[in-house]
Structure 1
């Protein structure tokens, strides 16, 4: 559990955690794989969300997942780009969060192993991304502002530290 003081400082920046869906590159699960290949090549993100037609997050997709389908024993084939859809290649086992239902501590634990987390609303509709980078920016804020907002006194003797 976070210290209440630390949690208050985090909450001061909580509004900046979410990168809104309007600023996120994504693909639909029924897009042809070549479309996703082009998107991932252009945006230079390592992985992007995959949505269904109702804007629910149904997967994640990376360039490595696509190129893995293109690799043959002795050559690279472009056939999968026209023969497959995003849903044939995407990762379907991944964490996602709802801000209203996910504690700050759970968010942080999930970000240890994930560069980003898709954020959904109560209807499971994609709202944006929570990124490890944004959390690091919050901790930077805390590290630089803690002493200006709080006075800390030691509860142990200096020799006990």
Structure 2
């Protein structure tokens, strides 16, 4: 089995770009009901994951920052406290499974590190649950 068979493509994934604002990030997390989403740069390369906690810490640690002026803070300026490791689309299944054990999702990239989508741990568990044979 290939990693690609678990891939949820970029077009179906909630993600942010570094140019988007903190307010847009908050709105995306709320709309998607996710607690974290991938972040890509202007070339489409995966650079990290932004979480609700990252937004809360930025709000807490930035004097004068509030809901009214969040649109002035670019996602690039928000410290990411957790880094979800990515996996190459042509990597071995074992590499992806090792990452999925510790992450809710595994970002998938091509050989230039361009973001292709994610693999959700939920989908892996469902697949193996359906296909377990005694």
TM-score by length of 2: 0.85
Q: Equivalent residue for 1:130?
A: 119
> Which residue of 64, 72, 92 maps to 1:83?
72
CA distance, structure 2, for counterparts of residue 16 and residue 103 of structure 1? 12
Deviation by residue 1:31-61 (Cα, 9 ceiling, x = unmatched): 1111111111111111101111111111211
| Change beyond 3 A, Cα 1:15–1:97 | closer
CA distance, structure 1, for counterparts of residue 40 and residue 83 of structure 2? 14
CA distance, structure 1, for counterparts of residue 20 and residue 65 of structure 2? 21
The alignment's C-alpha RMSD in Å is 2.4
Residue pairs, 1:53-72, within 5 angstroms: 53-71=42-60
Q: Equivalent residue for 1:27?
A: 16
> Which residue of 85, 96, 109 maps to 2:86?
96
- Check if 1:52 corresponds to 2:77: no
Q: Which ranges in structure 2 are unaligned for 5 or more consecutive residues?
A: none
| Change beyond 3 A, Cα 1:111–1:136 | same
Residues 26 and 48 of structure 1 are in contact (CA less than 8 Å); yes or no, is this contact kept in structure 2? yes
Work out the number of aligned pairs and report it.
132
Task: Report 1 or 2 for greater relative contact order, CA contacts < 8 Å, sequence distance ≥ 6.
Answer: 2
Give the number of the structure whose residues are more often helix, by fraction: 1
Residues 59 and 93 of structure 1 are in contact (CA less than 8 Å); yes or no, is this contact kept in structure 2? yes
Q: Which ranges in structure 1 are unaligned for 5 or more consecutive residues?
A: 1-10, 148-161
TM-score by length of 1: 0.72
Residues 41 and 63 of structure 1 are in contact (CA less than 8 Å); yes or no, is this contact kept in structure 2? no
CA distance, structure 2, for counterparts of residue 140 and residue 94 of structure 1? 24
How many Å apart are 1:93 and its aligned residue?
A: 3.5
The 4+ residue runs of structure 1 with deviation greater than 4 A are: none
